[in-house]
Every structure is written in structure tokens, then in C-alpha cells.
Chains A and B, each alone.
Chain A
Amino acid sequence: MSVFEGFRFRHVSSPIHNRDPRIKFLFVLAMFVVTIFFTEFLPLLVLFLLPLPFVWVAGVGRQWLRSLRGAVFLASFIFVFNFAFGYLYRSYPSTMLLLEYSLAMTLRFLVLVESFSVFFLTTSPDHLSLALEQSHVPYEFTFAFTTAVRFVPVLAEEAQTIMDAQKARGLELERGNFLRRVRNYIPILVPLIVSAIRRSLELAEAMESRAWGSSPKRTNLYVLKMKLGDVALFVLSVGLLALGIYVRYFVPIPSLSTFLPPLPF
């Protein structure tokens, strides 16, 4: 359940954590769009390396590695399928090029995961909801959003307790074939969903009894203001986008095989 630790409310201060979440999101979007532009290995490698300084400055290396490790399964899936089907349909002139293409596709996925994980690792949920609110998203929605995020670790903990309770009644999750294993999770999911619904009703009652929504106009203790660093990140994002478009349309991208000796087969 340590995967969900990333959702815990934490107050960390670093040049990356302190950036305006809106600008950070813009950067992620720019990363996203530029990543989609390319199917070649080299530019994707550059894109992969680009957020690394942020990870380092924010000091979230360990969590970042953990989130990448979580993506390894899907990434290998993507690699194997691209390679296998490319090979079967002989859509590439050489195995080397096919290998490069498959690697590029895998890397593309990893870049997407990476940039999102940097965003979420350095943006606390309350900061995020503040950003949403000050972008004029109705408070009901931002509240629902933060609450959902807020309860992820709680639910994860509860899932663990439920698993323990069912294991104590002889449930073995890893027993049987694939279908059987999926069915093994029913005794975990039913109590989890029931309690989540019950909890949301209780939360609603508790909020109503504390006069939630009684004043239509809300004020905030914290107001997001653009600082020099935010402007810099903004410029970087727009620059990245512009550079991406330029390279895509006007620069021929060399393949890795032009630098490497050909494969022996």
C-alpha cells in the first residue's frame, strides 16, 4: 500500500514545491504534447532527461523511482507488444530499427508517467485545490476533488485491514488460476465499497451539520501569486512547446542506428 503514500498531505518546501501549481500543470501539459509529437528515440530520451533536475532539486528521487518502478510492468508490456507485432508484420526494414522504435514507444510511456509523477509528487493536494479554486472552478468540484484525494490513503489503510480480516478467515489471495484470483478479491472489495459509501454519507452529514456552503462567497487564507520562478517555468514550458514544434517540422531526426554498428543478425 506504500504506492498510495504519495497522496498523503505533506508540507515540503523546495523551489519546485513552491511553484504555482497552475504553471506546473502547464509544464506537464507541454511535456505531454511534445512527447506525443515524437516517435523517435533520441528526442524522447532528451524529454526523459529534462525533468530530472526538477526531481533532484525537489528531493523526491526515492518516491519518483518508486512510481517509475510501478510503471515497469506496463512499460515492458508495451515494449514486448510493439516488438512482437512489428516483427510479425515485418513493418520495419531492420531489426535494429524495430528495436529502436519499440524502445522509443516504451520511453514515450515512461516520459508521460514521469512528468505526471513529478507534478503529483511536488504538488500537495491542498495546493492543487487552491489552484483549481482560483481558476474559478466551482468550490463544490474542488472540494470533491480534494476529498477524493485526501481519502486515498485512508481507503488504502482500510483495504489492508480488510485483507487482514479475510486472511484471518483463511482467504488466500494468491490461490488458484487467474479467474479464481480475481474472484478472491470479492471479499475485499465488497466491504471496502460498502464502507466507502457509508463514510461518504457520514462525511456529508458532518459537513451539513457544520453549515457547509452557507456563505456563497468564500475567501482564502492563501492566495496564489506568480513569482519570478513561476514566470521562468512558464517561459520554459512555452519554449519547450515551440522548440518541440520546430524540431518536429524542420529538423530531420537521426536514428540511433546511424551512430551504432549494425546488429549481426
Chain B
Amino acid sequence: MATIEAQDIRYTYLTGVEALKGVSLTIKDGEFVAIMGQNGAGKTTLVKNFNGLLKPAKGKVLVDGVSTRDVSVAKLARTVGFVFQNPDHQLFSETVEQEIAFALRNFGFDDATVEKRVTWALNLLDLTEYRKTSPFMLSGGERKRVALASVLAWDPKVVILDEPTIGQDHRQKENLRQFIVQLNEQGKTVVIVTHDVEFVAECAPRVVLMREGRIIADGTAKRILTDTTLALEASIVPPQIAQIFNSLSFLGLPSDVIDVSEAKEILVNRLRGLPG
């Protein structure tokens, strides 16, 4: 079990910017949550509170019932894995293999286990051929995968991904989506921080919408992403499918569609029903 519970947390940066103005959120074991909102809404600040990198100034964050103030980041990281936005902020080893082993050694796994886990993680993210390559020689997308592998290797119960889709082409995004969904189906709690509305529409997780340090909406992707007022308030653009269905609502089409195949089915049925 790994639940994360934020209780009315506030956080102010040294520069005086109040990034979180009282946020309460419970993420249950095995949930898949996307935290969305415009730049500076406090998304990254919020998730950095989940693994203790930032400690709330007021309120508290409980991970499995333990306050993040009472344990070290290194200890929390064992349960809550955090993949940073930019892989270049973490890659430093001579080979991909060593890069992945770094965290495992920090957590004190024995050599045999490290070896086993590294092989497993390389395989999982399709990086086996780069085992002995320097991470600096890899492309941006590959580096991102190495960063992801280096976190998944220790099998944390919760995986937080900060802007996982930035700088990824369509195919990599699709792979990433399948991968995340698969992780979640295997029982991992997955939290993603993103602006990518289309990506979220395809994943259909629970969506938490933030604006100026507060949560303004929390619900299914279908409900949140098709709510035009909310979208306007949080400066996000609804997914294209939702936009089309919304502007076709005069035809009596439902306005809460975000899934492409669902949209196709509705349209086909409608066309079949039409005369001639």
C-alpha cells in the first residue's frame, strides 16, 4: 500500500513566490493521476512535496501515513520514484548500465540484485543494446528512457513523472503512454505532471487541475477536459476531439467525448442513421 495524502499544504519559495496556497489531495494506492495546469500553477512544487524534496511550510504530506518531515528524501525515494523533466539533470555515469545501478547502490542492494535489476530495467525500456554506451552519446528520447529506467529499476510503488512528453515525437509518446498504462495496470501508483492535453485524453486518468497554487478541479479526464469553463480558467485547451464534439453539439452529439475510438463509433452510428 502506498497512499499519498497532502493536508492543506502551503509552500513559499525563498524568492517570496507562494507556489502552493493550501492544497489538499489524496492519491490512493494504484491510482493514475495527471496533475495539469498552466505554467507556474504549482504542479511541480506539489509533486516535489510528495517525495520530501520540498517540505511544506504549513500542513503536512503523509506517505503511507508517515509525514515527509520525519523521514529523509533518500528513504522516501525508495517508495516514491521521481523522474525529472530533464534527463540531463541526472545523467553522469560513464555507461548506461552504471547510471541505472547508481540508485540501486544508494539503496544498498547487493551486487547480484543490482545486476539483475539493471538487466531487467534495460530490457523493460528497450535499452539493452546501449548497456555499455555513455548516456551522453544517446539521443534526447533515449536519454529520457535511461532516466526512467534508472528510477523504475528499484521498483518504487509510486512513480512520479514530471513533464514526460516534452521533446518526444509521436511514436515515443505512444510508447510512453502504453508503458505508463501498463505500469499502472501492474498496480503502481502513477502521477504525471503535464500540459499535454492530448496525451492525457488518450491515457484517461484522474485529472487534478491546478491554478495559482490551488486545486480548482478534480475528477475523471472525461469530465474535466470537456468542461470549457474550467479549461478557460486553467488556460488549457480541450482535446481536439472534445472541441469538435462541442462545436457540433447542435447536432445533438454528446459534448463529453475525448477518446478517438469512442468518437468514431458515435459518428459512424450517426451517419448510418442518417437518410441516403
User: Is B107 an interface position by the 8 A CB rule?
Assistant: yes
CA distance A164 to B51 in the complex (A): 10
Query: Contacting chain A: which of B78-86, B233-241, B249-257, B261-269?
Result: B78-86
CA distance A194 to B150 in the complex (A): 19
User: Is B14 an interface position by the 8 A CB rule?
Assistant: yes
CA distance A172 to B90 in the complex (A): 14
Q: Which residue of B lies closest to A175 (CB)?
A: B74
User: Is A165 an interface position by the 8 A CB rule?
Assistant: yes
Q: A168 and B106: CB pair below 8 A?
A: no
**B260 smallest CB distance to A (angstroms):** 35
Q: Which residue of A lies closest to B160 (CB)?
A: A168
CA distance A189 to B151 in the complex (A): 20
Q: Which of A158, A168, A186 has the most chain B CB atoms closer than 10 A to its own CB?
A: A168
Q: B91 and A191: CB pair below 8 A?
A: yes
User: Is A76 an interface position by the 8 A CB rule?
Assistant: no
Across-interface contacts of A186 in B (CB, < 8 A): 92
Query: Chain A: how many interface residues by the 8 Å CB criterion?
Result: 21
CA distance A106 to B150 in the complex (A): 48
Kindly supply a per-residue 1/0 record for chain A positions 151-163, scoring 1 wherever the CB is within 8 Å of any chain B CB and 0 otherwise: 0000000100110
User: Is B73 an interface position by the 8 A CB rule?
Assistant: yes
User: Is B12 an interface position by the 8 A CB rule?
Assistant: no
Q: B106 and A169: CB pair below 8 A?
A: yes
Across-interface contacts of A167 in B (CB, < 8 A): 53, 73-74, 77
Given contacts A2-B14, A187-B102, contact A169 B151 (CB under 8 A): yes
Question: Which residues of A113-169 are within 8 A (CB) of B?
Answer: 158, 161-162, 164-169
User: Is A200 an interface position by the 8 A CB rule?
Assistant: no
Q: B90 and A165: CB pair below 8 A?
A: yes
User: Is A170 an interface position by the 8 A CB rule?
Assistant: yes
Q: Contact residue range for chain B?
A: 20 to 34
User: Is A171 an interface position by the 8 A CB rule?
Assistant: yes
User: Is B103 an interface position by the 8 A CB rule?
Assistant: yes
CA distance A127 to B91 in the complex (A): 38
Given contacts A165-B84, A170-B74, contact A191 B89 (CB under 8 A): yes
User: Is A204 an interface position by the 8 A CB rule?
Assistant: no
CA distance A161 to B74 in the complex (A): 15
CA distance A158 to B89 in the complex (A): 8
CA distance A164 to B81 in the complex (A): 12
Q: B103 and A169: CB pair below 8 A?
A: yes
User: Is B136 an interface position by the 8 A CB rule?
Assistant: yes
Given contacts A161-B84, A162-B90, contact A172 B74 (CB under 8 A): yes
Q: A170 and B53: CB pair below 8 A?
A: no
**B137 smallest CB distance to A (angstroms):** 12
Q: A170 and B107: CB pair below 8 A?
A: yes
**B240 smallest CB distance to A (angstroms):** 33
Across-interface contacts of A172 in B (CB, < 8 A): 72, 74, 106
Given contacts A168-B53, A168-B82, A169-B150, contact A161 B106 (CB under 8 A): no
Across-interface contacts of B106 in A (CB, < 8 A): 169-172
**A154 smallest CB distance to B (angstroms):** 13
**B106 smallest CB distance to A (angstroms):** 3
User: Is B177 an interface position by the 8 A CB rule?
Assistant: no
Q: B78 and A170: CB pair below 8 A?
A: yes
Question: Which residues of B85-116 are within 8 A (CB) of A?
Answer: 86, 88-92, 102-103, 106-107
Q: Which residue of A lies closest to B100 (CB)?
A: A169
User: Is A14 an interface position by the 8 A CB rule?
Assistant: no
Question: Which residues of A173-200 are within 8 A (CB) of B?
Answer: 186-187, 189-191, 194-195, 198
Q: A195 and B84: CB pair below 8 A?
A: no
Across-interface contacts of B84 in A (CB, < 8 A): 161, 164-165, 168
User: Is B48 an interface position by the 8 A CB rule?
Assistant: yes
Q: B81 and A187: CB pair below 8 A?
A: no
Question: Which residues of B137-158 are within 8 A (CB) of A?
Answer: 150-151, 154
Given contacts A2-B14, A171-B74, A194-B136, contact A165 B103 (CB under 8 A): no
Q: Which residue of A lies closest to B82 (CB)?
A: A168
CA distance A164 to B136 in the complex (A): 20
Q: A187 and B92: CB pair below 8 A?
A: yes
CA distance A19 to B48 in the complex (A): 44
5 contacts between A and B (CB under 8 A): A166-B90, A168-B81, A169-B103, A187-B90, A187-B92
Q: Which 9 A-B pairs have the closest CB atoms?
A: A170-B106, A190-B92, A169-B103, A168-B82, A165-B90, A165-B84, A167-B73, A165-B89, A170-B74
Other CB < 8 Å A-B pairs besides A165-B82, A194-B88, 12 of them?
A: A158-B89, A165-B89, A167-B74, A168-B73, A168-B77, A169-B150, A170-B103, A189-B92, A191-B88, A191-B89, A191-B90, A194-B92
